[in-house]
């Protein structure tokens, strides 16, 4: 999936486009989507270049939640084609495949008609949550159709606190280039999420607080654990354990100094 140990680069935001040109869902699918109550009414793509020289994109809801991350592409044109594939395939519920990781957590892939994976979710604690996440991506693709645009990169590290599509509160950590590198568990209140930021800040400065694990697809993810071994944040999946370990080193380096907090 992600062919890099960790990715730093400039950030561009590109709005979802040409939804009307994508395959349309049937009436039952439309009714199912319309019944969902989403916090966000739209989403955008954030495209960046990794340390490996490849290009990636995230699909980020307008509440700040990262709901999908791409494979790596050799060119910006390839990443643009990947975005088009998300728009074309994301309207079809059958394009989403929910899988279980070896540690018992769940994630989903968005798969194109040629069986190529064009996007992968974060990790979820239950299969129902992963399924809800897939429905959220599909709903956001259906609801959004603005012209492409880009914005200047976010060039400083920060935590962002936001309300997720499940109405719980979360935070994620952005690296200096704006890439989302760590995402929290859910909290019932915003204040609890802000307290969670403090826990990540205090525990994450030590690489020994992170655990690597293997997903069902053979790739490796990372978790940040508190002293009671509870998971308080997770990173992305990486193509090898050595890449995941290198990501731990980078993230712990970021958390080795005070990081600003922004509330959405």
Take residue 41 and report the two structure tokens written for it: 């009414």
- What is the C-alpha to C-alpha distance for residues 31 and 83, in angstroms, rounded to an integer? 25
Both 135 and 168 in a single domain?
no
Q: Are residues 163 and 139 in the same domain?
A: no
Domain end call among 143, 171, 202: 143
The answer to whether residues 178 and 129 belong to one domain is no
CA 114 to chain centre: 23
208 and 126 within one domain? no
Residue where a domain terminates, one of 97, 120, 143: 143
Per the listing, tokens 């719980």 go with 168
Q: List Cβ neighbours of 258 (8 Å cut-off, separation of 6 or more).
A: 201
Positive or negative, the CA dihedral 135, 137, 138, 144 is positive
| pLDDT > 50? residue 152 | no
Tokens representing residue 27 in the block? 């009436």
Residues 96 and 163 in one domain: no
Q: Give the tokens for residue 43.
A: 């989403």
- Residue 150 lies inside a defined structural domain of this protein: no
Is 148 inside any structural domain?
Answer: no
Predicted confidence (pLDDT) per residue in 85-116, tens digit = 999 999 999 999 999 887 788 999 999 989 99
Dihedral sign computed on CA atoms, order 78, 80, 81, 86: positive
Residues 9-28: pLDDT tens digits?
333 444 443 333 444 444 33
pTM of the model: 0.77
Q: Is residue 3 part of a domain?
A: no
Picking from 156, 163, 159, the residue whose alpha carbon sits closest to that of residue 136 is: 163
User: Which three-class secondary structure state does DSSP give residue 204?
Assistant: coil
Whether 2 is in a domain gets the answer no
pLDDT at 52: 61
10 contacts 49 by C-beta, under 8 angstroms: yes
Beta strands in 62-202 (DSSP E): 66-69, 96-100, 106-111, 117-120, 158-163, 169-174, 180-184
Asked if residue 177 is part of any domain, the answer here is yes
* Burial category of 195 from C-beta neighbours within 10 Å (exposed 0-12, middle 13-18, buried 19 and up): exposed
Given strand 43-49, what is the order of strands in its sheet?
A: 11-15, 43-49, 55-61, 66-69, 117-120, 106-111, 96-100
Residues 138 and 203 in one domain: no
pLDDT of residue 50: 65
Is 207 contained in some domain? yes
Q: What is the pLDDT of residues 52-67, one digit of tens each?
A: 667 889 998 888 899 9
Question: Are residues 201 and 164 part of one domain?
Answer: yes
Calpha distance 107→130 (Å, rounded): 6
Per-residue pLDDT reduced to its tens digit, 227-238: 898 899 998 878
Residue 214: domain span: 158-263
Find the CATH number of the domain harbouring 228.
Answer: 2.30.29.80
- Count up the domains in the chain and report the number: 2
Distance CA 217, CA 94 (A): 19
| 1 part of a folded domain | no
Same domain, 194 and 255: yes
- CA 190 to CA 115: how far, in whole Å? 39
Q: Which two tokens stand for residue 76?
A: 């910006």
Do 164 and 114 lie in a common domain? no
137-150 pLDDT, tens digit each: 999 988 865 443 34
Angle at 161 between CA 261 and CA 212, to 5 degrees: 90
Q: Could you give the CA distance from residue 199 to residue 249 in angstroms, rounded to a whole number?
A: 18
Look at residues 143, 168, 191 and tell me which one is the last residue of a structural domain.
143
Residue where the block lists tokens 């308080």:
232
| 19 and 83 part of one domain | yes
134 shares a domain with 23: yes
Total residues found in the chain within this entry: 264
Asked if 128 and 27 sit in the same domain, the reply is yes
| Residue at 5 is within a domain | no
Rank 68-72, 189-193, 209-213 by mean pLDDT and report only the highest.
189-193
Can you give the pLDDT at residue 188?
96
Instruction: Please choose, from the candidates 151, 156, 152, 187, the residue with its C-alpha nearest in 3D space to the C-alpha of residue 261.
Output: 156
């Amino acid at each position: 999936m992600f062919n890099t140990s960790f990715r730093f680069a400039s950030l561009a935001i590109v709005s979802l486009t040409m939804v009307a040109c994508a395959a349309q869902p049937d009436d039952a699918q439309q009714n199912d989507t319309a019944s969902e109550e989403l916090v966000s009414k739209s989403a955008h793509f954030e495209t960046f270049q990794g340390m490996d020289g490849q290009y990636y994109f995230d699909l980020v809801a307008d509440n700040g939640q990262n709901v999908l991350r791409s494979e790596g592409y050799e060119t910006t044109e390839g990443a643009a084609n990947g975005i088009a594939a998300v728009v074309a395939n994301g309207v079809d519920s059958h394009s989403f495949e929910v899988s279980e990781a070896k540690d018992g957590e769940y994630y989903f892939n968005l798969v194109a008609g040629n069986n190529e994976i064009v996007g992968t979710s974060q990790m979820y604690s239950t299969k129902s949550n992963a399924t809800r996440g897939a429905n959220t991506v599909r709903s956001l693709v259906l609801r959004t159709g603005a012209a492409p645009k880009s914005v200047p990169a976010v060039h400083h590290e920060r935590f962002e606190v936001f309300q997720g599509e499940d109405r719980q509160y979360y935070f994620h950590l952005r690296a200096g280039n704006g890439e989302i590198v760590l995402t929290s568990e859910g909290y019932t209140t915003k204040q609890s999420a802000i307290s969670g930021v403090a826990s990540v800040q205090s525990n994450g400065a030590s690489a020994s607080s992170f655990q690597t694990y293997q997903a069902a697809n053979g790739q490796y993810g990372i978790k940040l654990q508190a002293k009671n071994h509870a998971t308080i944040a997770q990173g992305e999946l990486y193509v090898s354990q050595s890449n995941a370990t290198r990501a731990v080193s980078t993230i712990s380096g970021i958390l080795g100094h005070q990081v600003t907090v922004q509330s959405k």
